[in-house]
């Protein structure tokens, strides 16, 4: 088996070093997976009729992510008011014997009771949450657990948080006490907080460390492992695929026929859009390669651990509620040899202290990253470069408005006003003609278009930046001796103002 592990590691390393060629190979595999969605549904007769019923539509977070009728979870009625058997969740078969997963969406406020009905009915002891409550300003999951100070009640279920700890910067571990009627059960809750929306984690270490902890809590428990994100397909599918391959590794079933594409296709046969984007599919490759690499190193040392870079839980337990604003600092760990190319930069600094200037170039060198979602029309995913900004309508001079006359046509360093007919291809209005006097810029006299908007010389006064006021005595001249021919008059103020400093000097 070691030879097959080395072969896979070398393949992923080659894909990483080959740049675009490696991307093309993984993209080609992912494209084949997407193309087989229709044949999978036809081959296995997969339907989504129950999730599309009128009474169940409001129970789906996304209307285009519905569980297959052949693999969906059936709920048993509890109290009379909770008699519906539908929840947006699916059974997934694992690699190990009797190993199953429940892949489900993040609970809505109207489906939290159904979520705990499912957890209780199938005796779930470990829950993996692969998202934060809010991401990109949108609610991705309802809070379905109580705080450390006060339990929360969801229908007939009372959920209390007994402990809450952070084994590393990316994971929050909670111990929940769930009470129904006179019985109380303990549920371990793992929340991964460093997975950016529409992206992938910067490095796989946090995911692998969290999965080691879930494996320790799950142990020989025969109940299913419940995994959810927001929609219950993309990030959920990645975690299920990684854990599935880890079970194959423990059973030494990695052979020459090992194929991540076949595993993802098998997951998609049970849950629609599992491993939803090409970036997520690539992340599975790099995470599995790192898992294999650590396995070979651990085997040389004689350690039984198959996951990598595990950080044990801290003994100190937090006594306050922890928010979701946690970011991973890649400088705190040694970067791995195999790193996925994330569509998001590493959050090495706080975003509140980060500023950026975005400028749209005339000729884009490379198109922006496009995430390929199975539940979206492929034609709608092609974003043109010219759609980055809204269209700006230029201000054109009204028809019939004469251009500003050029009073300094003989001067070689003056800008001549441009008529509307001479505007460039952008159609923007030309800048007004400015003239200067003693290195000071002033606008030219306004040319009115009608009698009602005309201005007389009484509305203006002449100014100068020279030491004496006598230099502006010649009001008929638009330029001072030695100047550049710019008009030096401004419009008179409508109210009183302080006199110039020259007027306050004593006469000599």
Annotated catalytic sites, by residue?
A: 229
* 257: number of Cβ within 10 Å: 8
- Contact, 68 vs 48, CB < 8 A? yes
Question: What's phi and psi for 281, nearest 5 deg?
Answer: -65, -40
The overall longest dimension of the chain from CA atoms, in Å, is 109
Tokens of 368: 């922006």
3-state helix, strand, coil in the chain (%, to 5): 30, 15, 55
Q: How far apart are CA 232 and CA 104, in angstroms?
A: 5
Of 89, 195, 192, the closest CA to residue 135 belongs to 195
DSSP symbol at 72: B
CA distances from 469 to 304, 329, 485 (A): 94, 65, 19
Handedness of CA 93, 94, 100, 103 (dihedral sign): negative
Is residue 333 classed exposed, middle or buried when 0-12, 13-18 and 19+ CB atoms within 10 A define those classes? middle
Do the beta carbons of residue 275 and residue 284 sit within 8 Å? yes
Taking residue 161's Cβ as centre, other Cβ atoms within 10 Å add up to 19
Rounded Cα–Cα distance for residues 313 and 217 (Å): 12
Residue 224 near residue 122 (C-beta atoms within 8 A): yes
Answer for the pair 168, 212: CB distance below 8 angstroms, yes or no.
Answer: no
Q: Are 382 and 370 in contact (CB under 8 A)?
A: yes
Compute how many other C-beta atoms are within 10 angstroms of the C-beta atom of residue 10.
Answer: 11
Tell which residue, 315, 286, 289, 291, has the closest CA to residue 305.
291
Q: How many Cβ atoms from other residues are within 10 Å of residue 392's Cβ?
A: 8
Q: Contact at 8 Å (CB) between 319 and 302?
A: no
Measure the CA–CA gap between 44 and 36, rounded to whole angstroms: 12
Q: What's the Rg (C-alpha) of the chain?
A: 35
Distance CA 164, CA 174 (A): 4
* Contact (CB, 8 A) for 414 and 316: no
Whether the CB-CB separation of 199 and 278 falls below 8 Å is answered with no
Residue entry with tokens 């592990």: 5
């Amino acid at each position: 088996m070691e030879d097959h592990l080395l072969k896979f590691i070398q393949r992923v390393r080659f894909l990483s070093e080959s740049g675009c060629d490696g991307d093309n190979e993984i993209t080609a595999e992912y494209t084949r997976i997407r193309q087989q969605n229709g044949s999978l549904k036809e081959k296995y007769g997969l339907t989504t009729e129950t999730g599309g019923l009128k009474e169940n539509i409001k129970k789906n977070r996304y209307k285009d992510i519905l569980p297959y009728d052949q693999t969906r979870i059936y709920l048993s009625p509890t109290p009379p008011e909770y008699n519906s058997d539908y929840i947006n969740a699916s059974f997934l078969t694992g690699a190990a014997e009797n190993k199953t997963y429940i892949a489900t969406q993040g609970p809505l406020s109207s489906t939290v009771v159904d979520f705990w009905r499912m957890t209780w009915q199938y005796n779930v002891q470990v829950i993996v949450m692969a998202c934060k409550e809010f991401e990109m300003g949108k609610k991705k999951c309802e809070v379905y657990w109580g705080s450390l100070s006060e339990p929360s009640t969801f229908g007939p279920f009372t959920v209390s948080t007994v402990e809450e700890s952070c084994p590393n910067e990316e994971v929050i571990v909670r111990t929940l006490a769930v009470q129904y009627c006179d019985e109380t059960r303990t549920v371990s809750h793992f929340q991964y907080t460093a997975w950016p929306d529409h992206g992938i984690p910067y490095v796989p270490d946090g995911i692998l460390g969290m999965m080691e902890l879930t494996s320790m809590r799950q142990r020989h428990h025969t109940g299913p492992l419940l995994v959810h994100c927001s929609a219950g397909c993309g990030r959920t599918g990645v975690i299920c695929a990684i854990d599935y391959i880890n079970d194959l590794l423990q059973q030494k079933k990695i052979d020459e026929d090992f194929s991540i594409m076949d595993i993802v296709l098998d997951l998609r046969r049970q849950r629609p859009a599992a491993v939803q984007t090409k970036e997520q599919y690539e992340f599975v490759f790099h995470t599995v390669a790192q898992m294999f690499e650590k396995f070979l190193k651990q085997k040389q040392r004689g350690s039984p651990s198959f996951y990598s870079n595990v950080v044990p839980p801290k003994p100190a337990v937090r006594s306050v509620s922890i928010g979701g604003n946690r970011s991973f600092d890649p400088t705190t760990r040694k970067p791995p040899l195999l790193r996925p190319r994330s569509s998001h930069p590493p959050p090495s600094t706080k975003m509140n202290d980060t500023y950026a200037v975005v400028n749209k170039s005339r000729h884009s060198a490379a198109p922006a990253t496009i995430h390929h979602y199975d539940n979206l029309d492929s034609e709608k995913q092609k974003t043109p470069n010219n759609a980055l900004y809204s269209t700006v309508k230029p201000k054109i001079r009204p028809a019939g408005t004469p251009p500003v006359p050029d009073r300094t046509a003989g001067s070689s360093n003056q800008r001549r006003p441009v008529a509307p007919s001479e505007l460039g291809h952008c159609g923007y209005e030309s800048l007004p003609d400015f003239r200067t006097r003693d290195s000071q810029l002033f606008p030219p006299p306004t040319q009115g278009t009608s009698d009602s908007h005309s201005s007389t010389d009484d509305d203006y006064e002449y100014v100068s930046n020279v030491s004496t006021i006598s230099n502006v005595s010649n009001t008929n001249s638009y330029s001072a001796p030695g100047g550049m021919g710019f008009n030096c008059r401004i419009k008179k103020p409508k109210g009183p103002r302080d006199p110039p400093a020259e007027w306050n000097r004593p006469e000599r």
